[in-house]
């Protein structure tokens, strides 16, 4: 079976890309294990984090955990913390250290690394 690192679904071995999300499939679930490496405080920094990691060819998913709604920028009260916004950055396990270093270097105080 082939596994999708994005939506974590299984597909027949001959499938190359996930029919749901378009990500390249891996051969085992271990290769597709993703971890949250940290968080950023606002939407602009979250977008910058994702684009920066993309430039370094590091796959990443940024998820709002604050109630941020869509592309229009409607920020609702955070339900995980008292802060206005919270975006978690997730990468494949093998990229954990490199991604955290890149984000610390580029985002500075906006980046909050998760202790592992």
Which pLDDT band holds residue 55 (cuts at 50, 70, 90)?
very high
Residues 5-40 have pLDDT tens digits of 676 678 888 888 888 878 888 776 555 578 899 999
Domains of the chain: 1-32 (no CATH), 33-113 (3.30.70.260)
Distance CA 33, CA 45 (A): 24
115 DSSP 8-state letter: P
Q: Given this model, what pLDDT does residue 108 score? A: 92
CA distance 46 to 87: 6
Contact 107, 45 (CB under 8 A): yes
Region 34-47 average pLDDT: 90
Tens digit of each residue's pLDDT (9 = 90 or more) over 67-114: 655 444 444 444 444 555 589 999 888 889 999 999 999 999 999 998
pLDDT band at 66 (very low <50, low <70, confident <90, very high): low
CB 5 within 8 A of CB 23: yes
């Amino acid at each position: 079976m082939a596994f999708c690192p994005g939506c974590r679904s299984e597909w027949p071995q001959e499938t190359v890309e996930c029919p749901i999300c378009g990500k390249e499939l891996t051969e085992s679930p271990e290769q597709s294990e993703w971890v949250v490496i940290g968080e950023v405080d606002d939407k602009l920094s979250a977008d910058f984090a994702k684009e920066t990691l993309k430039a370094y060819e590091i796959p990443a998913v940024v998820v709002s955990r604050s109630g941020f709604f869509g592309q229009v920028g409607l920020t609702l009260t955070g339900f995980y913390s008292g802060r206005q916004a919270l975006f978690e950055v997730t990468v494949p396990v093998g990229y954990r250290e490199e991604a955290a270093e890149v984000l610390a270097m580029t985002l500075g105080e906006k980046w909050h690394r998760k202790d592992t």
